[in-house]
């Protein structure tokens, strides 16, 4: 097969080069051969988390003293991009939600006791995390969430529900956003709590059957007078919205990295297919209109990739990147739609058959313009800062 990989950025850090090699090897040896089985099972096996934990890939952004590697945003980009090249979006989602979107809250805002209790097992892949923000009536509008947490003696009582929760079925650690001050307006009065899987007030209602990302389990959760201790509060009371918004920047960065990885894989598959497929006495690749279409998709993918790496560098330099990351999330994820559907078109009828990589990638790609902040919301974030 033709291997299409964009020119690698100048990774001067040996650790980053090693990370890319490790993830790429694992994708080729384990994820691509087994991904179809995981899609049918509707989940990523625990052993995959343990494997990546042993390689040090699940705690790259987390403190060294708790089992992490203490690296920066560039490490998350490399992980997301290389997993994206594996062509199984559900696998990528399950792993990155754990490493970069849920457990990250504990790494950044947890007390020393919370970090010691949860991070070593999470970095090792022995425990899996989920982030619980979205509700039936509050998705991109985080400030509109209604799940309540009220003080109860020396703890809290939580009531409400969450929906579309990735890793919701099999997670061990849930980061749950709740409204703790009903009198506060909008984004104020929201707090985060750490909830263990075995809490008797937690009910996993059902698992969704999804259009794409079929290897990641996605659930609806209910909290019925769920009692958590006082030390389940994560960070400061009432600061949850700001914590979520901060972590969203990394989630959107990783979504962009996933997108460009998938773009590269889709182009690789399509170049290979069009060079083999014969039509009208020649290969599809020999037809200029086909070559030019693929070249154009490759150019847009390369532009998105440059934006991803630029944003990662800005984050690692400690700069404010809300505008740039919002641009990135919108542009990279919309570019992915154009790329995978353009590539599917060039596969002809083959691209419409369930089980072919390009068909699966087209399904998986759709959620990336919705999850983590819809494109329309991202463009508003850009417009506010113009």
Cα dihedral 163, 169, 170, 176 sign: positive
Task: Clarify whether residues 281 and 157 are in a common domain.
Answer: no
| Residue 350 located in a structural domain | yes
Task: Clarify whether residues 49 and 173 are in a common domain.
Answer: no
58 close to 98: Cβ distance less than 8 angstroms:
yes
Question: What is the distance in angstroms between the CA of the first residue and the CA of the last residue of the chain?
Answer: 45
Which one of the listed residues 81, 251, 268, 324 is annotated catalytic?
Answer: 251
Task: Clarify whether residues 67 and 28 are in a common domain.
Answer: yes
- C-alpha dist (Å) from residue 236 to 27, 115, 177, 206: 39, 15, 13, 32
Task: Clarify whether residues 353 and 265 are in a common domain.
Answer: yes
pTM, two decimals, is 0.91
Cα dihedral 352, 357, 360, 364 sign: negative
Task: Clarify whether residues 25 and 53 are in a common domain.
Answer: yes
Token duo for residue 62: 């987390």
Task: Clarify whether residues 226 and 216 are in a common domain.
Answer: yes
**How far apart are alpha carbons 58 and 68 in whole angstroms?**
8
329 close to 364: Cβ distance less than 8 angstroms:
no
* CATH number of the domain residue 69 falls in: 1.10.540.10
pLDDT in the model for residue 279: 86
| Residue 278 located in a structural domain | yes
* CATH number of the domain residue 302 falls in: 1.20.140.10
pLDDT in the model for residue 314: 94
With a cut of 70, which residues of the chain have pLDDT below it?
1-12, 138-141, 143
Secondary structure of residue 73 in the 3-state scheme: helix
Cα dihedral 321, 323, 328, 329 sign: positive
The domain boundary residue, chosen from 186, 207, 238: 238
338 is a catalytic site residue: no
Q: What is the pLDDT of residues 274-286, one digit of tens each?
A: 999 988 889 999 9
Task: Clarify whether residues 158 and 111 are in a common domain.
Answer: no
Task: Clarify whether residues 191 and 230 are in a common domain.
Answer: yes
| Residue 1 located in a structural domain | no
85 lies in which domain range?
14-128
Q: What is the tally of structural domains in the chain?
A: 3
- Count of CB atoms within 10 A of residue 211's CB? 10
| Residue 60 located in a structural domain | yes
Task: Clarify whether residues 260 and 354 are in a common domain.
Answer: yes
């Amino acid at each position: 097969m033709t291997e299409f990989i964009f020119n690698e950025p100048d990774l001067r850090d040996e650790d980053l080069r090693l990370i890319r090699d490790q993830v790429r090897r694992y994708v080729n040896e384990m994820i691509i051969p087994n991904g179809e089985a995981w899609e049918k099972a509707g989940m990523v096996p625990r052993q995959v988390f343990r494997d990546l934990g042993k390689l040090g890939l699940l705690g790259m952004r987390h403190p060294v003293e708790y089992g992490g590697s203490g690296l920066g945003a560039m490490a998350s980009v490399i992980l997301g991009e290389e997993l994206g090249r594996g062509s199984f979006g559900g696998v990528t989602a399950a792993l990155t939600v754990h490493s970069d979107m849920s457990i990250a809250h504990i790494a950044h805002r947890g007390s020393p006791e919370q970090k010691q209790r949860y991070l070593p097992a999470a970095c090792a892949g022995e425990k899996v995390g989920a982030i619980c923000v979205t509700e039936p009536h509050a998705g991109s509008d985080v400030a509109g969430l209604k799940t309540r947490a009220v003080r109860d003696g020396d703890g809290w009582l939580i009531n409400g529900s969450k929906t579309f929760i990735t890793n919701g079925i099999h997670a061990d650690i849930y980061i749950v956003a709740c409204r703790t001050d009903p009198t506060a307006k909008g984004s104020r009065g929201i707090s985060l709590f750490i909830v263990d899987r075995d809490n008797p007030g937690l009910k996993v209602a059902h698992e969704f059957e999804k259009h794409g990302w079929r290897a990641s389990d996605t659930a609806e959760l209910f909290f019925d007078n769920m009692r958590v201790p006082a030390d389940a509060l994560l960070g400061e009371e009432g600061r949850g919205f700001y914590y979520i918004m901060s972590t969203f920047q990394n989630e959107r960065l990783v979504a962009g990295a996933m997108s460009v990885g998938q773009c590269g894989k889709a182009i690789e598959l399509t170049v290979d297919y069009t060079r083999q497929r014969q039509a009208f006495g020649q290969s599809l690749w020999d037809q200029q209109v086909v070559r030019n279409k693929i070249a154009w998709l490759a150019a847009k993918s390369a532009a998105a990739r440059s934006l991803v790496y630029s944003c990662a560098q800005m984050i690692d330099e400690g700069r404010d990147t809300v505008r740039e990351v919002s641009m990135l999330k919108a542009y990279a994820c919309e570019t992915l739609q154009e790329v995978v559907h353009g590539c599917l078109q060039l596969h002809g009828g083959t691209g419409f058959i369930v089980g072919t990589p390009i068909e699966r990638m087209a399904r998986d790609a759709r959620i990336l313009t919705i999850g983590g902040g819809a494109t329309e919301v991202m463009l508003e974030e850009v417009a506010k800062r113009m």
